[in-house]
Chain A
Amino acid sequence: MAACSVEELLAKAEQDEAEKLRSVTVHKELDLEFDVGNLLACDKNRIESRDLGGQRRDDFLQSLARDNTQLLVNEIWKQPTERVEEAIVAKLPEPTTPLPREKPPPKRKPPTKWEQFAKLKGIQKKKKTNLVWDENAKEWKRRWGYQRARDDTKDWLVEVPETADPNEDQFAKRVKAKKERVAKNELNRLRNIARAQKIKVPGVGLTPVAQQSKDDLSRAVSVAKHSTASVGMFQDRLPKEKPPKNTGKRRKFGPLIGDFSSERQKQLELLKIMDSKRPKLDITKAVNKQMREEDREEAAASARRERESLEESLAPVCKCQIFKMQRIYMHSHEHFEVFTTVLAPQGRYRYRAGAEKMVVVHSYRPHWPDELELSLGDVILVLSKHEEERWFGRRQHGQQGYFPASCVMELSQQKSLQTGGVGFLELDPDWRLKVWMCQPLLI
């Protein structure tokens, strides 16, 4: 009986074991392909397509999945294991399935100028500490960067060296030197990048800045235009392109002592100009320029303010007789006289409370440095009348100074000068003065 039971037991034990072994083995026609690195199993066996409805199909899928997973797990368990912090961990090999990359592999950068030099000289990179002991501050400071240890621009006391100019600002010199170092560093960095990408670094001022202003761009354009074989002589301009503004003649600072003949030439020419009786100033040009300027100022300033009030009172087609005008005698040329008129609009506002516009009726040469030179026909804005006879005012150009009150006359005065007929005056709608040449008139 015992023997039977023992045999039985043994048989049973054997059976159990066989079952267990079977339970982890799965029979497949074709072996699966495993990629243990990715925990992947691919089953290539043909699946008989049976007409399975929902639940049965799911069951079929589940059983298939179970089989395949079992095989995968068997494969994983074959890997070498180790114990890491109370957990058994299997070391996975590298994944074998080829998968596309995310980005193309990085290109190797060519060595920078320093790297080439270091390689040539055999200079090794030494690891330096981040912090350095700063004696003055008695603490550990960074070797480089914000609030670094040896920042010579932050010294409060700088000894002036023997050989230096006493008027030189040593602090500014240090700051400037630092700026130059930074700029040089930046340029070298860009040169390294340019060498890496095989492009050229543009000249000074054209390296990239965060926000490029209009003149940076225009400078870049002009540099680009000049960089041709004929130095930009034959470059066509685009239809709407404006001519470049920066093309001015550069002054040549020649050597002081050198070419004696040319120096002599220059000095003689200078003397000749000084000696000649020719007027230094082209009168017509100067006068016209002055008039234009005055026109502009007058028109811009007064037109805006007075237009509202005047438009009521004035007809759009302006004729002279509506206005009260005064003719002012301006410059006299040899052959003819130039007249200009100034409007005296009604009800105009002052620019400043109390400030009056006056017209110079007598020229005045200043006796004192703070006085203003007056020429006939100027319009002066009288800013203050501190004294009875001496007033402070401003000319159109902005010059300010004192002058005697008798030289000027109020603009808004109603009385007209004893002049001849006005006649040839016209006003265009935006109140620009029109000058007409007249015969000399008696005043």
Chain B
Amino acid sequence: MTQLDNVVKPKSKRSKRFLDSRAPKLSEDLKSAMIMKGGNTSLTVTQALKDLVSHPNITRPFEDSTSLEFFSKKTDSSLFLFGSHNKKRPNNLIFGRLFDFHVLDMIELGIEKYVSLSDIKASKCPEGTKPMLVFAGEAFDIDNEHKRLKSLLIDFFRGPTVPAVRLAGLEHVLNFTALDGKIFMRSYRCLLKKSGCRTPRIELEEIGPSFDLVLRRTHLASDDLYKLAHRQPKALKPKKKKNISHDAFGTKLGRVHMQKQDLSKLHTRKMKGLRKRRGAVVDGEQDIEELLTAL
């Protein structure tokens, strides 16, 4: 009836906390991703999805994204990975992200070669470590689609933003290489070896799934929507301190504004030696009088 109908008053503290966690926040934490299977998925795709990390009944994200948006609203997640398989597009993976529960970007990648976790016999990294991401290839810088793909993959794989990281815990490395129009994703475990100096030498050991992906369709957001999505609230911008400047030597200079002062009544530091003595003043006066009388 009225817009007030949509206002839901939480009846308990728990529901209030739940609603607050879903409300837009100034600084957002980790994005959660939905991993979904399409109607017809091959073994490859299923394995691939399992390795990377659901039930929703979504048929074709590229054609109709409303059910996708509905599920994202329900699970409060802004990233999705949709796997499907059909004759025309075998072993398909669609990476996508949403802004305000509407589709922002969707990129379809086809799996050409896939080696699963179980196939690679090596000790694995513990889950939950923040991985290091390495992108190689000039395509990621030049081609617009690749640029978006890079941003999308960063969003997907980066993990929570932490203020500090344990140096010994830097184990997982995800490597994306754009070569010959294909994208190679490899996952390594890095071993920190002793070297002469403080920085350790890195040795890599392949773990994890490796994908050879080829870029298929893309659905990218328009420029202004992309810009809108990037808009940060003003509160997050670091406040610029006014009135502070640095000179050439690096000293910090600031300006202090005072009201008008009567300088004769200033209370400065009193130095005993500079005080006028009574005797001296009297002598001076006498001298002057003598001079005057003499003339």
**Which residues from chain A sit less than 8 Å from chain B, CB to CB?**
16-17, 19-21, 23-24, 37-47, 49, 57-58, 61-62, 64-66, 68-70, 72-74, 76-77, 81-82, 84, 87-92, 95, 97-106, 189-190, 193-194, 197, 199, 201-202, 206-208, 212, 217, 220
* Chain A min CB distance to B279 (Å): 60
Q: Which residue of A lies closest to B232 (CB)?
A: A105
Residues from chain A with Cβ under 8 Å of B132 in the complex:
39-41, 69, 72-73
Residues in B135-159 with C-beta less than 8 Å from chain A: 135-138, 140-141, 150-151, 154-155, 158
Q: Chain B 228-241 against A: per-residue CB contact (8 Å), 1 yes, 0 no? A: 11111100000000
Q: Which residue of A lies closest to B8 (CB)?
A: A208
- Contact call A193/B173, Cβ cutoff below 8 A: no
- Contact call B134/A61, Cβ cutoff below 8 A: no
Q: Which residue of B lies closest to A190 (CB)?
A: B4
- Contact call B201/A24, Cβ cutoff below 8 A: yes
- Contact call A99/B154, Cβ cutoff below 8 A: yes
- Docked complex Cα distance between A190 and B3 (Å): 11
- Docked complex Cα distance between A77 and B165 (Å): 11
- Contact call A65/B3, Cβ cutoff below 8 A: no
* Chain B min CB distance to A428 (Å): 46
Given A69-B134, A220-B1, output 8 extra A-B contacts at Cβ < 8 Å: A43-B136, A47-B138, A65-B188, A69-B175, A76-B170, A99-B154, A106-B26, A202-B4
Q: Interface size of B by Cβ–Cβ distance < 8 Å?
A: 75
Is B7 positioned at the interface, with any CB of A under 8 Å from its CB?
Answer: yes
- Contact call B7/A193, Cβ cutoff below 8 A: yes
Q: Chain B 209-223 against A: per-residue CB contact (8 Å), 1 yes, 0 no? A: 010000000000000
A62 touching B141 in the complex, CB below 8 Å, given contacts A23-B201, A97-B154, A202-B2: no
* Chain B min CB distance to A225 (Å): 14
Instruction: Give me 17 A-to-B residue pairs in the complex whose CB atoms sit less than 8 angstroms apart, sorted by A's number.
Output: A23-B196, A40-B154, A41-B135, A42-B135, A64-B136, A65-B177, A66-B203, A68-B134, A72-B134, A74-B199, A76-B167, A77-B200, A89-B167, A91-B164, A99-B154, A102-B98, A103-B101
Q: Which residue of B lies closest to A189 (CB)?
A: B9
A101 touching B202 in the complex, CB below 8 Å, given contacts A24-B195, A87-B168: no
- Docked complex Cα distance between A28 and B184 (Å): 21
* Chain A min CB distance to B220 (Å): 12
A102 touching B78 in the complex, CB below 8 Å, given contacts A40-B158, A197-B3: yes
* Chain A min CB distance to B161 (Å): 6
Candidates B4, B98, B168, B199; contact of A24 at CB < 8 Å: B199
- Docked complex Cα distance between A77 and B28 (Å): 27
- Docked complex Cα distance between A23 and B180 (Å): 29
Residues from chain B with Cβ under 8 Å of A65 in the complex:
134, 136, 173, 175, 177, 186, 188, 204
Candidates A92, A208, A220; contact of B163 at CB < 8 Å: A92
Is B14 positioned at the interface, with any CB of A under 8 Å from its CB?
Answer: no
Q: Which residue of B lies closest to A221 (CB)?
A: B1
Candidates B4, B137, B151, B203; contact of A199 at CB < 8 Å: B4
Per DSSP, are chain B's interface residues mostly helix, strand or loop, or mixed? mixed
- Contact call A47/B136, Cβ cutoff below 8 A: yes
A208 touching B1 in the complex, CB below 8 Å, given contacts A69-B204, A105-B231: yes
- Docked complex Cα distance between A193 and B192 (Å): 57
Is B49 positioned at the interface, with any CB of A under 8 Å from its CB?
Answer: no
- Contact call B202/A69, Cβ cutoff below 8 A: yes
- Contact call A69/B173, Cβ cutoff below 8 A: yes
- Contact call A38/B4, Cβ cutoff below 8 A: no
Q: Which residue of A lies closest to B130 (CB)?
A: A39
Q: Chain B 185-208 against A: per-residue CB contact (8 Å), 1 yes, 0 no? A: 010101010011111111110100
A24 touching B197 in the complex, CB below 8 Å, given contacts A46-B138, A106-B233: yes
Residues from chain A with Cβ under 8 Å of B228 in the complex:
104
* Chain A min CB distance to B229 (Å): 4
Q: Which residue of B lies closest to A220 (CB)?
A: B1
Residues in B75-106 with C-beta less than 8 Å from chain A: 78, 97-101, 104
Is B290 positioned at the interface, with any CB of A under 8 Å from its CB?
Answer: no
Candidates B135, B203, B206; contact of A43 at CB < 8 Å: B135
Q: Which residue of A lies closest to B172 (CB)?
A: A39
8 interchain residue pairs of minimum CB distance = A20-B196, A100-B229, A105-B233, A103-B24, A65-B175, A43-B136, A102-B78, A106-B24
Residues from chain B with Cβ under 8 Å of A61 in the complex:
175, 177, 184, 186
- Contact call A37/B199, Cβ cutoff below 8 A: no
A73 touching B231 in the complex, CB below 8 Å, given contacts A68-B134, A103-B28, A207-B4: no
- Contact call A194/B202, Cβ cutoff below 8 A: no
Q: Which residue of B lies closest to A66 (CB)?
A: B204
